[in-house]
Amino acid sequence: MSLREPFRSLLEPVALEEGASVFVSIHINAAEGGEGIEVWYNHFGKELAKAILDSNTVFPRRKNPLVERNELTVVGNFPGSAVVVEVGFINKRRDV
């Protein structure tokens, strides 16, 4: 089992069973060298990703804040707009 499989088994089926047309996964990080917001999206989710990024008034934008990531199981297999919001590094005072 890859590291990505647990996310798929826990999240995607629930969204699909409930008939969701949009899937948003929010990740709060802690890592050296990171700060700010970055939004990953599938091939249907660019407009949603841009709207989330544009509505952000708290976190600084990362160097390349919009990234298409169809290879990620959590967004790549979803049949509608899907995004992962990588936001806030809890070990950075600026982001907390």
Spans of all domains in the chain: 5-95
Question: Distance from first CA to last CA of the chain, Å, rounded?
Answer: 34
Mean pLDDT along residues 41-47? 95
Stated pTM of the model: 0.75
**pLDDT score, position 2:** 42
Helix (H) or strand (E) holding 88: strand 81-89
> Is the per-residue pLDDT at 12 higher than 90?
no
Q: Which CATH class is domain 5-95?
A: alpha beta
Q: Are strands 61-68 and 37-41 parallel, antiparallel or unpaired?
A: parallel
Mean pLDDT along residues 31-51? 86
Q: What angle do CA 8, 36, 71 make, to 5 degrees?
A: 30
Distances (CA, A) of 91 to 34, 59, 72, 74: 9, 14, 25, 25
> Is the per-residue pLDDT at 1 higher than 70?
no
**pLDDT score, position 93:** 63
**pLDDT score, position 78:** 87
Strand order of the sheet with strand 81-89?
Answer: 22-29, 81-89, 37-41, 61-68
> Is the per-residue pLDDT at 48 higher than 80?
yes
